[in-house]
């Protein structure tokens, strides 16, 4: 019986871990996203690697070549990890986007034999799309 209680106790603790809500990134207003998104430079492996390596001293790691003049293994490892992560994000990641009902405004102008025609509307169904990370 003690074993069953222990297993049950562990299972309950694991279940509670998954109930912890981790807050996501703050939502960016659409107006800011449309302007700011175009200004972002995209992912750059060299810049990311450089930023990480320049932070080594904050956690006690040495920068630059090893004492014998060979390449710093940690710097090489960091460059390799960043290279593979950026490649995976840019070549394999998929971003799904969604536009809720009434989020798109539609305006059209035209003419026919009866004269000018103007129509307005909105999307009546949720819309979705796919994007890529650059």
Residue 25 has pLDDT above 80, yes or no: no
Longest dimension (CA), the chain: 87
Query: Which of 29, 74, 38, 69 is CA-nearest to residue 55?
Result: 74
* 37-88 residue pLDDT tens: 788 888 999 999 999 999 999 999 988 888 898 999 999 999 999 999 999 9
- pTM comes to 0.61
The two structure tokens encoding residue 54: 């320049």
Per residue in 78-99, pLDDT (tens digit) is 999 999 999 999 999 888 888 8
The overall average pLDDT reported for the chain is: 86
Rounded CA separation 7/122 (Å): 55
SS3 125: coil
């Amino acid at each position: 019986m003690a074993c069953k209680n222990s297993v049950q106790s562990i299972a309950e603790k694991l279940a509670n871990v998954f109930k912890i809500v981790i807050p996501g990134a703050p939502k960016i207003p659409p107006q800011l996203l449309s302007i700011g998104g175009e200004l972002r430079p995209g992912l750059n492996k060299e810049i990311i690697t450089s930023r990480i390596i320049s932070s080594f001293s904050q956690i006690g790691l040495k920068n630059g070549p090893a004492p014998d003049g060979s390449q710093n293994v940690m710097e090489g490892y960091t460059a390799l990890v960043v290279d593979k992560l950026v490649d995976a994000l840019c070549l394999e990641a998929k971003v799904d986007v969604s536009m809720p009902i009434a989020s798109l405004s539609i305006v059209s102008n035209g003419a026919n034999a009866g004269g000018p025609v103007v129509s307005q509307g909105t999307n009546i169904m949720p819309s979705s799309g796919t994007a890529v990370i650059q």
